[in-house]
Amino acid sequence: MEENKEMSSYRNTIIDIFHRICGEIETIQSAAQKVAEVIAREDTVHVVGPGGHSNMAVEEVFWRAGGFACINAILDPGTNLIHGGARSMIIERTPGYGIKVLDAYRVGRKPGEVIIIANAYGINSMCIDIVEEAKKRQMTTIGITSRSYADTLLKDHPARHPSGKNLYQEVDYFLNNHLPYGDTVVELKGTTRKTGPTSTFCNVFTINLLVIETAKALLSMGVEPPLLVSGNLPGGDELNRQLIDKYIPLVKHLM
């Protein structure tokens, strides 16, 4: 059966985005070095997806084969879609909420911690509050986001933080995930609305590249990366047990 034009268009667009993200390799490697330094001193790496589907980027690197056991996944129920889609959007647009989430997850208790903020749009209140608060707590901030919405939407758009600030301009390391404006990329005959969303691909591919480069940086430092293996492999649970026991006191959702 021949592939139809919509499938081809979607596949080709995603591949093109991946190529663009790979072009950010120098910035990804610089950010990875910072993450590696934190892991080498046996601290946790905080990861948050401030809003809706951005949470999937956090889930991608938490409790994941090939992911680090030391990921402190910030999976606050306020923006989790299981509790309501509209509710999630309301929460991510609520000024001040993100600061309390950092407190709940014991983030930034000492200077030098790292937080990865994954949000393809990078404009909502939770994004901006988290990056600003992280700076106050003397943390290193890494943003997985894009410029497409940030450079286009009016400063008073209701999705924005009241300040009108953009995540990509506020973080220490901006990892451009090259989200297309509008998110969706597949046009269908008979409607002006598009389908074929891209934001999750953008976020997840970028954060996995960061994990890969961090593992390489750790090895160059002579440090064994604390990578989990699949529990579905023979002996997988046993291989992971030592890492789990080590990080249980530090990672909120590990057990």
218 vs 24: CA distance, rounded Å: 20
Instruction: Convert the pLDDT of each residue in 96-125 to its tens digit.
Output: 999 999 999 999 998 899 999 999 999 999
Task: Kindly indicate the confidence band of residue 156, based on its pLDDT and cuts at 50, 70 and 90.
Answer: confident
d(CA 29, CA 34): 9
Query: What is the pLDDT of the chain when averaged over all its residues?
Result: 94
Residue 12 has pLDDT above 80, yes or no: yes
In this model, does residue 133 exceed pLDDT 70? yes
Please give the pLDDT value at position 155.
Answer: 86
Q: What is the mean pLDDT of residues 170-189?
A: 96
Alpha-carbon distance 195 to 232, whole Å?
Answer: 35
2, pLDDT greater than 70? no
154 compared with 17, residue with greater pLDDT: 17
Contact predicate 96/27, CB 8 Å = no
Task: Between 3 and 89, name the one with better pLDDT.
Answer: 89
Amino acid at 200: T
- Measured distance CA(233)–CA(237) in Å, rounded: 8
Q: pLDDT band at residue 254, thresholds of 50, 70 and 90?
A: confident
Q: How confident is the model at residue 1 (pLDDT cuts 50, 70, 90)?
A: low
Band of residue 232 on the pLDDT scale cut at 50, 70, 90 = very high
CA distance 238 to 223: 21
- What average pLDDT does the segment 141-159 reach? 91
The candidate with the shortest Cα–Cα distance to 177, out of 52, 54, 48, 70, is: 54
Share of the chain above pLDDT 90, in %: 90
Confidence of residue 89 (pLDDT cuts 50, 70, 90): very high
CATH T-level topology, domain 24-247: Rossmann fold (3.40.50)
Question: 2-11, 25-34, 102-111: lowest mean pLDDT where?
Answer: 2-11
pLDDT in tens, 182-221: 999 999 999 999 999 999 999 999 999 999 999 999 999 9
Place 63 in a pLDDT band, splitting at 50, 70 and 90: very high
**pTM strictly above 0.85:** yes
- 255 confidence band (pLDDT: 50, 70, 90): confident
197 φ/ψ angles, rounded to the nearest 5 degrees: -70, 155
